[in-house]
Amino acid sequence: MLRVGVLVSGGGTNLQAILDAIDGGIIVGAEVVAVISNNENAYAIERARKHNIPAFIVTPKAYGSREEFNNALLETMNVCKVDLIVLAGFLVKIPEAMIAAYKNRIINIHPSLIPSFCGVGFYGLKVHEAALKRGVKVTGATVHYVDEGTDTGPILLQKAVEVRAGDTPEILQRRVMEEAEWVILPQAINMIANNIQAI
Ligand code: GAR
């Protein structure tokens, strides 16, 4: 059984998609053993608790320095004996020590087709605002492995989503979640759990 730790900062709809996919048999051979949030008000914590999954709040303001926070984050993963770390809307830069300790074992969901609309400053709604501003007709989501850069690691899965006339950033965000993120993130976890290679 692949032991998955999910890092969250907000609503946790991607976490919910993972939990539903496990319950529904779409992900086989993996279990979520810990949910960690940097934000004590994240609704994702509620979702974890409703599922009887241990939820931890590791927030920078509880620590004297960034280094102590980074250590606490890594320690929580280690204590939970996690095999795979999933960043599901986690808006904190992953410490280098964690990337080194979990090399090729951290994946992230990003709400665009990388290399478009990614990198520093592109997160959440900002990604969709930028896509609409540029006037792209197709956007989507990407699951990629996490390396030292921002959104630069090897791509595992991508799914395209149509942009429609009249879209607002909120409407587009929802469509990208429904049609792409909630599909490819569970799919990626199932692939890793079962050693299925991407194309
Ligand atoms: C998702 O759209 C995810 O792709 C995005 O944050 C949202 C979190 O929603 N992540 C990033 O922008 C990372 N750069 P959720 O908390 O409902 O899963």
Residue 59 lies in a domain: yes
Query: Which residues span the domain enclosing 14?
Result: 2-193
Residue 111 Cα, ligand 1 centroid: separation in angstroms?
Answer: 7
CATH number of the domain that residue 71 is part of: 3.40.50.170
Ligand 1 pocket (Cβ < 6 Å) reads 8, 10-14, 44, 88-89, 109-111, 123-124, 127, 177, 181
Residue 105 lies in a domain: yes
Q: How far apart are CA 26 and CA 160, in angstroms?
A: 21
Residue 11 lies in a domain: yes
Residue 198 lies in a domain: no
Query: Quick check: is 144 catalytic?
Result: no
Residue 199 lies in a domain: no
Residue 85 lies in a domain: yes
In the predicted structure, residue 199 carries a pLDDT above the cut 80: no
Residue 110 lies in a domain: yes
Residue 79 lies in a domain: yes
pLDDT digits (tens, 9 = 90+) for 110-156: 999 999 999 999 999 999 999 999 999 999 999 999 999 999 999 99
How many distinct structural domains can be found in the chain?
1
Which residue, judged by its Cα, is nearest atom 1 of ligand 1?
A: 89
Share of the chain above pLDDT 90, in %: 98
C-alpha angle 86-19-110 in degrees, rounded to nearest 5: 40
The pTM assigned to this predicted structure is: 0.97
In the predicted structure, residue 72 carries a pLDDT above the cut 90: yes
N- to C-terminal Cα separation, the chain: 24
Residue 66 Cα, ligand 1 centroid: separation in angstroms?
Answer: 23
Interstrand relation of 138-145 and 106-110 (parallel, antiparallel or unpaired): antiparallel
Do 109 and 185 touch, CB atoms closer than 8 A? yes
pLDDT digits (tens, 9 = 90+) for 34-46: 999 999 999 999 9
